[in-house]
Amino acid sequence: MTTLTNPVWFITGCSTGFGKELAKLTIARGWPTVVTARDKARLVDLAASGDNVLALDLDVTDQAQIDAAVKAAEDRFGRIDVLVNNAGYGYQASIEEGDDTEIRAMFDANVFGLFAITRAVLPGMRTRRQGHVLNITSQAGFIGFPGSGYYAASKHAVEGFSDALAAEGAPVGIKVTCVAPGPFRTDWAGRSLKQTQVQIAEYEATAGARIKGTANISGQQPGDPVRAGETMIAVVESEKPPRHLVLGKLAYDGITGKLKERLAQVESLKDASLGADFPS
């Protein structure tokens, strides 16, 4: 948003974690900021921090609330320049032991809710030929860790969606960045993570070990959410914002390693791949 001096930010999932810390930063800069949560009572401190704040109830799985929130934001501030899709949560289980109800509920929030709020905001951005969508994904958008297969699937879905949105949006001035954090010192593991405990002995050393390790990580994560928020703002302000923003050393090392490994494997089978076409 280098052409705007007073960009309007709309951030989902602001009651805790990345959403809250990012909102604090945009509010402190004096930018109009729409902060949302399932229960806006949890946003009292943000709502009281300036006249440039609009706090709204928003369950991203509820289309009526989505439509109402976008309308309220545009009525108050005239437009939405930056949409930050941060709302969502994690679910861990071995693949075999995943609970269908839990899996579908997570996809409703992480995937279909994100799709819905994005669709609601796009018309205004398209009309103005300007906008930036930030989708908070995860290193799990690139790596399927044991115990996190369903969560990774939800983040892979957002990455694919974002590729298409970036291609469609570029001609009309809409930019897209996926933010892929590693472990950051938020309360994600304590508040935003559901777990199905591994009962099958054969998965105890893989899925079970990761699930136990994740549950005990709160307060020890190396990532600083405030620094992450500053980096996100810098990306939005840049002339050519990236399609991918990886945050934290663990995510950087893991994602770059996975991509190199994947490329090497694809290239090792080049002859087989090209040989699948009809002969020239």
pLDDT at 188 over 70: no
Does residue 190 lie in a domain region? yes
Q: For residue 261, what are the domain limits?
A: 9-272
Classify residue 279: in a domain, yes or no: no
Q: Model-level pTM greater than 0.75?
A: yes
Calpha distance 184→273 (Å, rounded): 39
Confidence of residue 222 (pLDDT cuts 50, 70, 90): low
Strand 53-57: give its sheet, edge to edge. Answer: 53-57, 33-37, 9-11, 82-85, 131-136, 174-181, 244-247
Find the catalytic residue in 91, 150, 151, 203.
151
DSSP 33: E
Residue 4 in domain: no
Alpha-carbon gap, residue 247 to 184, rounded angstroms: 9
Rounded to whole angstroms, the Cα distance separating 228 from 180 reads: 10
Give the whole-angstrom CA distance, residue 187 versus residue 225. 11
Q: Is residue 30 part of a domain?
A: yes
pLDDT at position 168 is 98
CA–centroid distance for 164 within its chain: 16
Per-residue model confidence as pLDDT tens digits over 76-92: 999 999 999 999 999 99
Examine residue 2 and state whether it is found in any structural domain, yes or no: no
pLDDT tens, position by position, 103-147: 999 999 999 999 999 999 999 999 999 999 999 999 999 999 999
233 is a domain residue: yes
Cross-strand pairs, 195: 92
* Domain-located, residue 1: no
The whole-angstrom separation of Cα 277 and Cα 264 is 21
CATH number for position 125: 3.40.50.720
HSE at residue 249, side-chain half, CA atoms within 13 A, is 2
Q: How far apart are CA 245 and CA 177, in angstroms?
A: 7
CA 158 – CA 114 distance, rounded (Å): 8
In total, how many domains does the chain have? 1
Residue 280 lies inside a defined structural domain of this protein? no
pLDDT bracket for residue 190 (50, 70, 90): low
Q: Is 151 a catalytic residue?
A: yes
Q: How far apart are CA 187 and CA 154, in angstroms?
A: 20
CA distances from 25 to 9, 178, 223 (A): 11, 19, 17
pLDDT of residue 201: 95
Q: Quote the Cα angle for 154-216-193, to 5°.
A: 30
